[in-house]
Amino acid sequence: MRYFISDYSQGAHPDILKALVETNFEHTDGYGMDRHCENAASMIKQLIGKPDANIHFLVGGTPANVITIAATLRPYECVIAPHTSHIYMHETGAVEATGHKIYALDTEDGKLRPDMIQGVLDEFEDEHMTLPKYVYISNTTELGTIYKKAELEALSKFCKNNDLYLYMDGARLGSALTSPENDLSIQDIANLVDAFYIGGTKNGILFGEALIILNDEINDHFRFYMKQNLGLLAKGRLLGVQFGALLNGGEDSLLFKIAAHENDLAEKLRNGISDLGYDFLSDSCTNQVFPILPKSKIEKLHDEEFLFESWSAVENPDDFAVRFVTGWGTSDDDINALLAALK
Ligand X SMILES: Cc1ncc(COP(=O)(O)O)c(C=O)c1O
Which uninterrupted H or E stretch holds 293?
Answer: strand 292-294
- Residue 333 gets which letter from DSSP? H
Q: Which residues lie near ligand X (CB under 6 A)?
A: 60-62, 65, 86, 138, 169, 171, 201
Give the shortest CB-6-to-ligand X separation in angstroms.
7
Nearer to ligand X, 28 or 229 (CB): 229
> Which amino acid, 160?
K
Radius of gyration of the chain measured on its C-alpha atoms: 20
Query: Distance (Å, rounded) from C-alpha 277 to C-alpha 330?
Result: 24
Q: Which is nearer to ligand X, 169 or 319 (CB)?
A: 169
Least distance in Å: CB of 59 to ligand X?
8
CA atoms 10, 183, 63, 94: torsion sign: negative
Cβ neighbours for 102, distance < 8 A, ≥ 6 positions apart: 78, 79, 80, 81, 87, 88, 95, 96, 136
Question: Looking at beta carbons only, is 138 or 242 nearer to ligand X?
Answer: 138
Residue 57: closest CA among 28, 21, 33, 92 = 33
Least distance in angstroms from the C-beta of 3 to ligand X: 15
If DSSP states are collapsed to H, E and C, what string results for 238-292? HHHHHHHHHHCCHHHCHHHHHHHHHHHHHHHHHHHHHHCCCCECCCCCCCEECEE
User: For residues 214 and 255, is the Cβ–Cβ distance under 8 A?
Assistant: no
CA-CA distances (angstroms) from residue 304 to 68, 218, 297? 42, 49, 10
Nearer to ligand X, 65 or 286 (CB): 65
* Least Cβ distance, residue 62 to ligand X (angstroms): 3
Euclidean distance between CA atoms 184 and 193, whole angstroms:
13
Strand 309-313 relative to strand 209-213, pairing: unpaired
Cβ 86 to ligand X shortest distance, Å:
4
Minimum distance from residue 303 beta carbon to ligand X (Å): 27
Of 133 and 202, the one with the shorter C-beta distance to ligand X is 202
Nearest CB to ligand X, comparing residues 60 and 99: 60
Nearer to ligand X, 162 or 229 (CB): 229
CB of residue 74 to ligand X, shortest distance in Å: 24
Minimum CB–partner distance for residue 94 and ligand X (Å): 9
Query: Shortest approach of ligand X to residue 87 CB, angstroms?
Result: 7
* CA 170 to each of CA 8, 137, 342: distance values in angstroms, whole numbers, following the listed order: 15, 9, 31
Query: Which of residues 173 and 342 has its CB atom nearest to ligand X in the complex?
Result: 173
DSSP letter string over 68-133?
HHHHH--TTEEEEEETT-HHHHSSTTTTGGGT--EEEE--SSS---HHHHHHHHHH--STTSPEEE
* CB nearer to ligand X: pick between 155 and 342: 155
Contact in structure between 291 and 273 (CB atoms under 8 Å): yes
Q: Which residue is nearest to ligand X (CB)?
A: 61
